[in-house]
Amino acid sequence: LFSSIFLVVIICVLLWLKLKPRRPKHFPPGPDPVPVFGNILQLSTTNPLRDLNKFARHYGNVYSLFLGNRPAVFLHGLQVIRQALVTQGADFAGRPQGLMINHVTENKGLIMANYGPTWKEHRRFALASMKTFGLGKKTMENKILEETHHICSHLENHLGDPVDPSFLIHSASSNVICSVLFGERFEYKDEMHKLIINSFKENAQVANGAWAAIYDGFPALRGLPLPFQKVFKNFDIIKNHVRGVVKQHKSSRVPGEQRDVIDCYLDEMEKSTQDGCLLEEERLVMLLLDLHFAATDTTANTILSGILYLATHRDIQARCQRELDEGLAGRVGISFEDRHRMPFVMATLHETVRVANIAPVGVFHATTRDTTLKGYRIPEGTLVITNLTSVLSEGPHWERPSDFYPPHFLDQDGSFRKPEAYLAFSAGPRVCLGEQLANMELFLVLVSLLQDFVFVWPEEDTPDLTPVFGGIQSPKPYRVTFRVNKDNGQK
């Protein structure tokens, strides 16, 4: 009996040693993984950020974890992240392969397409076409102000009543980008529009959550009817809808008379008849989905965070409204150019972005070739995760990192400034191309709301500023009361 037990123990030990993942030579250090699970069991399923900070304190600002059997390098703090994404930008500009998000998007579009000629061409096209249809121009400003008018009209019908503004703000953000991509806006009650917005929200919550980690770490489970299947179902519905919109455009377009981004892409496809053309219809569908998602969920959650923080920090709200009154000098309309006369408002909006921390670990990167970082060797194709939260809350760069404190973005003279550690939109070749649109939308929407309303937290509710962790972080659902801003002479 003893010899049998001894034999079983020996076999178990050998299997353990055989299955235990091993770090490559000179790879960044980290905690010991266990077979099959790697280090996943050492991460919180609801919010792993505290665990990541703990590992950084113990192993340094470049460390590694195993997600299942897959090694991943984690980067912590401004100095290391800037070194990787900017100084060695091309080395870290890839996207990891074989993850759930790759399978959902088929590695097309912009967000998860790997670094190379096809991605570069589509990023160039996206930037050029967005500028064509108003990015940074008065035409884009007018599109945003049109949606702001719809928001204010809705709120005027619910003055004094606690309102959950989530769907309203998501609908408006979606419509801004829809007007550019598809050449039209949608009524907020439109069923397909509501389905798309809800699907974006659901998929964003899953993207960096426990079920995505299970899908990525345990390939044998991918065919089972588990919650991550909902992501694929959502995406298929939206993708088929967009295919239909592209088909309609193909039948109604007049070459050279571009109504929107779809027409721009179809025109370029028609011109690019040479072999090796990087533009194709299915890539257009994925590009549209990427741009629609990226410009909807992130911007909407930032605006919702801004309303939440201003309702719970009435002193900051009042100061913003005073500066707004002085800057506009009785003028009714808002212009993006007005931001230059409103340093405290600008500081408040940027502090909203910092504290909201919408993309806590950014989008996952991968190395495009064998490289080194801080003396560690990182092989080509290694998954790299940038802890942007660590930069946006790093003590040396922010006076009160845990507080909502707009003076973080003011210099000694009270002028607006943007600190080096403001990496909310990431950096390097993969920096978010929607930063300019997001800033314009955040300013025009929140300033318009501040001009017309006072945000009041309902007395019967207790505010909870803790966000819901995910690939796109969001504030917890809340209700806020909108009252007429009586100090606004126009009301």
Arithmetic mean of pLDDT over the chain: 90
Q: Is 432 annotated as a binding residue?
A: yes
Provide the pLDDT for residue 490: 43
Contact 246, 281 (CB under 8 A): yes
The whole-angstrom separation of Cα 427 and Cα 332 is 37
Give the chain's radius of gyration (CA, Å). Answer: 24
- C-alpha angle 140-308-180 in degrees, rounded to nearest 5: 15
- Does an H or E element contain 440, and which? helix 435-452
Find, among 388, 339, 291, 298, the residue nearest to 85 by Cα: 388
Contact 96, 114 (CB under 8 A): no
Q: Tell me the per-residue pLDDT of 430-447, one tens digit each, with 9 for 90 and over.
A: 999 889 999 999 999 999
pLDDT of residue 16 exceeding 60 = no
The whole-angstrom separation of Cα 472 and Cα 357 is 9
- DSSP, collapsed to helix, strand or coil, labels residue 386 as strand
Report strand pairing: 371-373 vs 376-378.
antiparallel
How would you write 289-313 as a 3-class SS string? HHHHHHHHHHHHHHHHHHHHHHHHC
- C-alpha angle 217-221-227 in degrees, rounded to nearest 5: 95
- Rounded to the nearest 5°, which phi and psi values hold at 254? -115, 115
Q: Tell me the per-residue pLDDT of 119-165, one tens digit each, with 9 for 90 and over.
A: 999 999 999 998 888 777 788 899 999 999 999 999 999 999 999 99
The whole-angstrom separation of Cα 408 and Cα 406 is 5
Distance between first and last Cα of the chain: 89
- Which burial class, exposed, middle or buried, applies to 479 when counting CB atoms under 10 A from its CB (0-12, 13-18, 19+)? middle
Q: Indicate the domain borders of the chain.
A: 24-484
Residue 4 backbone class (left: φ over 0; alpha: ψ -120 to 50; beta: rest): alpha
Tokens found for residue 464: 């909870």
Residue 168: CB partners within 8 Å, gap ≥ 6? 151, 154, 155, 188
Output the CATH code of domain 24-484: 1.10.630.10
Residue 451: CB partners within 8 Å, gap ≥ 6? 321, 324, 328, 334, 485, 488
Mean pLDDT of 368-397: 95
How would residue 273 be classed by pLDDT, with cut points 50, 70 and 90? low
Q: Comparing 106-115, 199-208, 298-307, 310-319, which segment has the lowest mean pLDDT?
A: 199-208
Tokens found for residue 194: 């509501």
